[in-house]
Amino acid sequence: MKKTAPSPLKHWLTPALTALVVFFILLGTIVIKKTSPTTGSPESTASATILPAENISLPSPEFRSSNSVEATLKNRRTRRDFQDKELSLKQVSQMLWSAQGVTVDWGGRTAPSAKSTYPLSIFLVASKVTGLEAGEYQYLPGDRTPVHQLKPIQSVELQQALYEALNESSFKKAPAVLVITGNMGKMAEAYGGIGHDKEVYLEAGHVAQSLYLQAESLRLGMVVISSFDELKIKDLVTIPSSDTIIYLIPFGIPKL
Ligand SMILES: Cc1cc2nc3c(=O)[nH]c(=O)nc-3n(C[C@H](O)[C@H](O)[C@H](O)COP(=O)(O)O)c2cc1C
């Protein structure tokens, strides 16, 4: 029996369809990679939902108070026990500004930075802050012009989870926690590719002291915590994989 020659259409249809399927699989992989957050651990934040995309403008910081620097230095103390009370957005705003607020038109901030590199980031884990959904936010200081906003990252209640992960009593009632992270790669770049981690840690120390003084002036309490399992924290809090967590700072209204 005479065989009929395959039609030219059938000839290229199978390879064309295969190529199309491979193309869409590759495209899908790229899109998923681009949209997933950069965390230290792939299984992190499983129960979290994404907060609305718009950044939140913070109340303007105050530049005056009735407390002298000297009196604030004298009264500064680490405080680990907090009242079960909400913080106002104004109090949180003032704390964030004291840590990294932009104060001059070339981008200088409240805390000094080696070679004006600004390798630190401040994340806020809010549990009880008036007007803020419980969740994780990143402070946006601004580059040259002050921005002073919060970028929502994930809607999640972390108070109990942080307490359990760290077994530190200060997390039990703290209405908010600041997470100070440092990008060692960014600092190394500023020094021609040679690692300068020391400067990043020193900068976090400057920021922590500003926070201590600001907290004291606002009659708030805080504790700096440097001893923790970084991987456990990165499982809970969404932190860029390029960043090292330097300090966790629970803060709130201190117990008298
Ligand atoms: C680098 C550094 C790391 C610290 N780490 C912790 C910590 O992991 N846990 C904690 O409860 N306190 C920590 N603290 C707070 C100290 O325990 C506290 O500063 C010290 O007891 C002195 O008390 P004062 O801050 O009231 O003067 C740390 C302080 C510094 C400077």
Q: Residue 204 C-alpha to ligand 1 middle, in angstroms?
A: 14
- Does the C-beta of 167 come closer than 6 Å to ligand 1? no
Q: Which residue's entry shows tokens 């994930």?
A: 154
Q: CA nearest 220: which of 121, 88, 56, 126?
A: 88
- Does the C-beta of 224 come closer than 6 Å to ligand 1? yes
Tell me which residue has its CA closest to atom 10 in ligand 1: 225
- Domains of the chain by residue range: 39-252
- Does the C-beta of 74 come closer than 6 Å to ligand 1? no
Per-residue pLDDT of the chain (256 residues; tens, 9 = 90+): 344 444 554 555 555 555 555 555 544 444 333 333 333 333 333 356 666 779 999 999 999 999 999 999 999 999 999 999 999 999 999 999 999 999 999 999 999 999 999 999 999 999 999 999 999 999 999 998 999 999 999 999 999 999 999 999 999 999 999 999 999 999 999 999 999 999 999 999 999 999 999 999 999 999 999 999 999 999 999 999 999 999 999 999 999 8
Domain with residues 39-252, CATH architecture: 3-Layer(aba) Sandwich (3.40)
- Does the C-beta of 223 come closer than 6 Å to ligand 1? yes
Q: Residue 182 C-alpha to ligand 1 middle, in angstroms?
A: 19
Type and span of the H or E element at 150 = strand 149-155
- Closest ligand 1 atom to Cα of 76: 26
Type and span of the H or E element at 137 = strand 135-140
